[in-house]
Amino acid sequence: MEPSSETLLAGTPYMTAGDPVAESRVARILNRAADIRSRALAVHEKIKLEASEILGPYLVALRSDLVAESNRIEGYDWSPSQVQELVVAHKELINSSVGSFMTALRSDERVYQALGLYRAHQLADEWAESNERLREFEIRGLHGLVCAGEDYAGKYKTKSNAIGGSAHRTTEPWDVPRSMGELSSWWFESSIDPALEATVVHAWLTHVHPFEDGNGRMARILANFALIRNGFPPLLIRSGADRGQYYDALARSDDGDILPLYELFVSVLRRTVKTMAAPGYVRAVVQNRLLTSLRDQYTLWCRLPASFSSALSERLAPHGFRAEVQGYPDLSSFALLKDRDADGNSWYLKIVDSDGRARWLLWYGFNSNQLLDLAGSSSHYPSVFFSRRSSDPYSEHPYEPVHFDPSIPDEMLLRPLEPKPVRLRRGYNLDDYSMEDAAQSLADAVASAESW
């Protein structure tokens, strides 16, 4: 018999509703995480057998991707190739002692944004091999690398701070040592699913917000540490595809509900395992040519979501609404959606009312059977679907499909190089629109639906 969610989360600030629906949801995610772990272990063995001679360059490329995405989430503009070039150029510094490394980085803020985080990931990976959890002083030591060059590096905050865009009140400086002690004690005693462990540690650290800066990057390092020491792949949260859902789930964790973040982490891990299982994956990563056969299609398409969100926001404004972009699929998510794989799904934008409440969600998914029946199998681009905020605050899914409203499209396709690039499907009817006309049609439909 599986332990209850109350037992799994004992000693943490988190809980679930505790009803049969919530318990069933927890059990599903646990089973999914166990399956991902077994598949990840098999993939790792395959990689070791097939590409042992290039594992070093592969790890550099993988960590560079982690660093670039983690920095992008925080608003720092780095690409994986830029990080990788910097790592290669500073190879001796990367492999020097921590003390020498931190001293050398103090002179260049731009360099420490990338190299400090890279070195922290590298050190966490090395520590993960010991199969021990991190102690408090080791967490502070990693923070010293992430924020190398700053006076507050490696130290708990001395002034109150806040999370941008959130009403959550972080732990006061005087209470941080006690809160971090509780987190550390729980972590050392924990024996739960490693993906749930990673989720709790990540959420808990961001909830406390113990450092003046670098809390998000530290949380992602600790989550990756918990995963890697248990045979999982790295948690590669994409700044484009995952940012909106990630921040939404973090906000819900601050209210005590850990399940949305746990579900997101497991979905991200499953996406990573599928990508890693592709033939020639390691060599493709090292040679920086993964999924290049799709790159032209992706390059053509990726400008359209931004154009449509801008047009929609402009036309929503007179109705008292606005569009808030949540993210865009990256190349690997784009490839999964092209293969009709739901692990490529991600949030596109929210439609928010004048009080700042999210009312609608537009999200990316693969083409429906109805669309393929009507348009043939020639679509090379993801679909966008429409969901409305659930009226049930305890619903498993905060957004639910729209039924019995013919004004709201069932599906949208953004198609480059077409005179009317927006295709809307309502039932078994397809209509093509200009960007502006489609945005106006959707804005009017949303306003009408909200007036009921």
Query: Is 289 annotated to bind ligand?
Result: no
Query: Is 247 annotated to bind ligand?
Result: yes
Q: Is 191 helix (H, G, I), strand (E, B) or coil?
A: coil
Sorted by sequence, the CB contacts under 8 Å of residue 204 that are 6+ apart come out as 12, 13, 183
CA–CA–CA angle 305, 307, 310 (5° rounding): 105
Query: Is 72 annotated to bind ligand?
Result: no
- Contact status, residue 383 vs residue 368, Cβ threshold 8 Å: yes
Cα-flanking dihedrals φ and ψ of residue 211, to 5°? -110, 160
164-168 contacts at long range (C-beta below 8 A, 24 or more positions apart): 165/247, 166/251, 166/254, 168/207, 168/251, 168/254
- As given in the structure block, the two tokens for residue 297 are 């299609």
d(CA 356, CA 222): 32
Query: Is 220 annotated to bind ligand?
Result: yes
Radius of gyration of the chain (CA): 23
d(CA 286, CA 59): 9
Query: Is 141 annotated to bind ligand?
Result: no
- As given in the structure block, the two tokens for residue 416 are 């480059």
Query: Is 218 annotated to bind ligand?
Result: yes
Is 209 an active-site residue?
Answer: yes
Concatenated DSSP letters for 3-64?
A: PPHHHHTTTSS-B---SHHHHHHHHHHHHHHHHHHHHHHHHHHHHHHH-GGGHHHHHHHHHH
Query: Is 427 annotated to bind ligand?
Result: no
Q: Is 234 helix (H, G, I), strand (E, B) or coil?
A: coil
- Contact status, residue 415 vs residue 297, Cβ threshold 8 Å: no
Nearest to 63 by CA among 100, 27, 11, 117: 117
Helix, strand, coil percent content, the chain, rounded in steps of 5: 55, 10, 35
Q: Is 165 helix (H, G, I), strand (E, B) or coil?
A: coil
Q: Is 281 helix (H, G, I), strand (E, B) or coil?
A: helix
Active-site residue (options: 209, 319, 380, 397)? 209
**49 residue type, one letter:** L
Q: Is 383 helix (H, G, I), strand (E, B) or coil?
A: strand
Query: Is 343 annotated to bind ligand?
Result: no
d(CA 367, CA 369): 7
Sorted by sequence, the CB contacts under 8 Å of residue 164 that are 6+ apart come out as none
* Residue in the structure block whose two tokens are 């309502």: 426
Query: Is 215 annotated to bind ligand?
Result: yes
Binding residues: 213-220, 246-247
Binding residues for ATP: 213-220, 246-247
Residues recognised as catalytic: 209
